[in-house]
Amino acid sequence: MRNNFTVQLATNVTVHYNDEGRSDIPLVFIHGFPFDRTSWLPQYEYFKDYCRVVIYDIRGFGSSTTDSDTQFSMDVFARDFLAFLKALHIEKAIVCGLSMGGYILMNAFQKEPERFAGIVLCDTQCNADSEEAKKKREKTIEQIRGKGVADFADTFLKNVFYEESFKNKKETIEAIREVILHTTQQTLVAAVKALANRPDTCGVLSAVNVPALILCGKQDAVTPPEKSQAMHDLIKNSVYHVIDGAGHLSNLEQPEIFNKYLGEFINTI
C-alpha cells in the first residue's frame, strides 16, 4: 500500500497507518479482532478516490507496537484512537468500526462525541459479554496458550466467515489467516481479556446525535442481526442494512454491497 505512515502516541506505542485522498471530513476505519488495517483494503481502495480515507493498526496489531506493561482494554484502545485523530489534526471524522472496532468507536464517542461527524457500526453489538461468553473467552485463551496461534486461527476463521465464503473467497480468508498468524500470543491473549471485560455501551447509543449507519452480515454468527437491530432501535434516525451472503466480516465478504451502503451514507453528511 502507498502512503504508509507512522505516528508515536506514547512511549513504545507507534501506530502505523495509511492516509490518502482529500475531503473536509475524513473517513476513518477501526479494524476488529484479531485483524489489522489491511482488513479494510476494499474500502480504502474504493473510497480514496472520493474522500480522505484513513486506516490504522490498533496497538499490538499489524505493524503497530505496544508497551508490554499496558493492559489492553476498550478504554485504552479508545484513548489511543482519540490521540491518533489529534496527532493527524483531524477535528471531526466519519468513523467506521467493525466488531471490536465498533466497541472502540462507542467508547471513544462516549468520551468525545464532538469528534464524530457520523458513525458506522458494522457486525458489532453494544452489550457486554455474558458470563457464558466470558467462559468461552477463557477457553479461547487456553487454546491460544496451549495449542498455539495457528490452531486458534483455524477455529476462529470457521466462526467468522459465512460457509459460502470458503468456496468463493479463498484468497481473502487466507490473507486474514496470515494476519492472525503474524500476531503475537501476548497481543491475542491481552485482547481477548479486553473483549471479555468490556463495558456495556448500549446507554451510549441513545445519546447519539449524529448520522449513524448500522451494517450486519445476514449470516453473522458472532454478532447476529438481532444485535444490530437492537442498536438501530436505540439510535434515533439511524439507517440499518442487513447484507446477505456475509458472516462477521461483511466488508470483506460482500465489499461491493458494503461500499454501496457506506457511500450512500457518506453522501448524506
Contact by Cβ (8 Å): 235, 214: yes
Q: For position 3, what pLDDT does the model report? A: 80
pTM for this prediction: 0.98
- List the CATH code of the domain at 4-129+199-266: 3.40.50.1820
Q: How far apart, in whole angstroms, are the C-alpha atoms of residue 229 and residue 215?
A: 10
Q: How far apart, in whole angstroms, are the C-alpha atoms of residue 88 and residue 28?
A: 11
Average pLDDT over residues 34-52: 98
Mean pLDDT score of the chain, rounded to an integer?
A: 97
User: Angle between the 100-111 and 185-196 helix axes, to the nearest 10 degrees?
Assistant: 60
Average pLDDT over residues 84-88: 97
End-to-end distance of the chain based on CA atoms, in angstroms? 28
Q: How far apart, in whole angstroms, are the C-alpha atoms of residue 160 and residue 79?
A: 27
Q: For position 1, what pLDDT does the model report? A: 62
Q: What percent of the chain has pLDDT over 90?
A: 96
Q: With 90 as the cut, is the pLDDT of residue 218 above it?
A: yes
Average pLDDT over residues 118-132: 98
pLDDT class for 12, splitting at 50, 70, 90?
A: confident
**CB-based contacts of 143, cutoff 8 Å, min separation 6:** 151, 152, 155
Q: With 90 as the cut, is the pLDDT of residue 35 above it?
A: yes
Contact by Cβ (8 Å): 226, 232: no
